[in-house]
Chain A
């Protein structure tokens, strides 16, 4: 919460400092030159929270990993041909995901994500498969990082993994755009390009943008009000116009009659 008078803002502007936004500066400069009676405007500014590049909002992961059914049997055991039906319930429990170590659940997650995206059954090396695998890893690590926030090595690893995936997405986008769009939809990833201007967010600059926004709003509101006013006047004018035209027609008719009389 902050209230700043416009006059003070203009005084504080150092024109040489901000090269990145010349247009805004010139606008402000003109305003300060032309207008004399400046009024105070109360602008509210809240500093936005820094989430960090690991946060799922910035990495682009729109959903966490789906939770698995723990009573389910690990799929590779099924494919291996183990007769589970012959076993007793206690024996069968040994092969379920709830009882096995966590890496088995992770492997099923990987397989589920791959099966959506793979070109064929043995495809693990294509760029889509790589992206799918890395998304599963990223979402798993993001969950782990929330629980253990002081694990810096893991954090660094996660950040690097996110950057790698972003570069892979960039490559796929360049090579085949339709496939890229399909993949984003399948894996539920949000793709945002990195901003060109990575300058630090400051109070002064953001207030400048807000003042510009405010000025635009005032300008637009006044214009709209003027348009409404004009439209009301238009209707009045049209009624007047009708009346005057009728009067002219009458007068012309009268004049013609007079002409006829004179000629006769």
Chain B
């Protein structure tokens, strides 16, 4: 327990701001970590050795978002970004919207600020869900005027966070192991939540969880049947 709490101290923004004042040092420190992960995950071929990788993390794992080069997201071969809520319709079917965050240098203050760019990525299987962190690559040819990229895989699914350094599962500021350890020490509640027997994500879709579709305000009262299942009566 004590060890994890101490470790978590290093993930906070305030700590980073204190100790890594110069941004160059910060970038180099993060780049080492990112390089380790990239070795594990992807980029074995030499053809992609020159790819620029933008490093995007969730708030709860690492509370600092980083990319190496600002303004390079449009030129990069492979990108790591977060899926935004996007619901394919008639005009753009089989696609997701991916947001990529970079750091941009403001030369007057000599300080970096986050800058977001969004892309449409081709996703025929509709694997991505809003909030997932996905790896996308640029296509050799444009599919449509809007779609230039393709989803390779989901790296970190939403709400199922792994610590990139240790590879353990995390909930907020603590490892899941530690949470279970504490509850076992006090005497675990038998009715409580159990990770091992828990079903896969999505078993409450259209029952009690309606977040997989876009919600809207109700505009009509139909007599016979409810044609607006995702409506809200504000």
Contacts and interface: CB of A to CB of B under 8 A. Distances in A.
B211 A191 contact: yes
B233 A48 contact: yes
Contacts of B75: none
A195 B160 contact: no
A116 to B, nearest CB: 6
Contacts of A178: 159-160, 193, 195, 198-199, 201
A193 B211 contact: yes
Interface of B, secondary structure class, is loop
Given A177-B159, A182-B193, A123 B216 contact: no
A128 B233 CA distance: 27
Given A48-B219, A194-B215, A210-B220, A176 B188 contact: no
Contact of A48 (B161, B199, B209, B221): B221
Nearest to A48: B218
Contacts, number: 140
Given A57-B233, A175-B60, A181-B203, A48 B187 contact: no
B233 A194 contact: no
Interface residues of B, number: 46
B232 A174 contact: no
Contacts of B234: 50-53, 58, 198
Given A50-B234, A209-B220, 13 more contacts: A51-B233, A119-B186, A121-B189, A173-B211, A174-B60, A177-B158, A177-B159, A178-B198, A178-B199, A181-B209, A184-B204, A195-B215, A201-B218
26 contacts: A49-B233, A50-B234, A62-B208, A120-B182, A120-B183, A121-B186, A121-B189, A122-B186, A128-B193, A174-B60, A175-B161, A177-B201, A178-B199, A179-B171, A189-B208, A190-B208, A190-B210, A191-B209, A191-B210, A192-B210, A193-B210, A193-B215, A195-B214, A195-B232, A197-B217, A201-B217
Interface of B: 58-60, 85, 90-91, 131, 157-161, 171-172, 179, 182-183, 186-189, 191-193, 195, 198-199, 201, 203-204, 208-211, 214-221, 230, 232-234
